[in-house]
Amino acid sequence: MKKIVLASSSPRRKELLDKYNLSYKIISSNIDEATHIGETPEQITMALAYEKALDVANKLNDNEIIIAADTVVCFDNTILGKPKDYMEAFNMLRMLSNHYHHVITGIAILKANTDIKIIDYEKTKVVFRQLTDKKIKNYLETLEYKDKAGAYAIQGKGEVLVKGIEGSYSNVVGLPITKLEMLLEKHFDMSLL
């Protein structure tokens, strides 16, 4: 039986994995998520996912398989992180209103005590509907925006802000399940089902 470790304390990633018959434990990484200057959002998310996985792998010694991810919201080549406060969240949602943006998740899978490392990413296009200031304020009153890149949660009440998506829904939540399954099958002879 292969030992799986999720290198994330994200409740959303845990919820996504819990749908499958996968026994795993959670060990959070302690890396500094300072932005990588001069890199694309894809490069940044893959680098951060790898750094998270490596940080956790260095604490293990039993050939565990470590899964790590990093998700960003990218609008017009600008990364929108987690809003610092209500006004920043309001401005983010106003900017995303009636436009599309991309959600990019870097994913890294490492096998502890080996040189096996798989790094990839998933990119999903999200289209927001036209939002009034009142709609944005109503959403912000739910407090769901806190600790969410781009100031919304598609798996929660933020779903009403979204007109449509092209690509992986689970990627927008924070872990591209289909991509993860394909990488686990191809490189680790494992399946989520």
* pLDDT value at residue 2: 79
CA distance 56 to 58: 5
Q: Is residue 70 annotated as a catalytic residue, yes or no?
A: yes
* Count of domains forming the chain: 1
Identify the CATH number of the domain in which residue 141 sits: 3.90.950.10
H/E segment holding residue 67: strand 65-75
Answer yes or no: is 193 within a domain: no
Answer yes or no: is 169 within a domain: yes
CA distance 151 to 39: 23
Look at strands 100-111 and 78-80 and give their pairing. Answer: unpaired
Q: pTM of the entire structure? A: 0.92
Residue of 18, 62, 70, 189 with catalytic role: 70
Answer yes or no: is 40 within a domain: yes
Tens digits of per-residue pLDDT, 85-133?
A: 999 999 999 999 999 999 999 999 999 989 999 999 999 999 999 999 9
| Res. 47: pLDDT tops 80 | yes
* pLDDT value at residue 157: 96
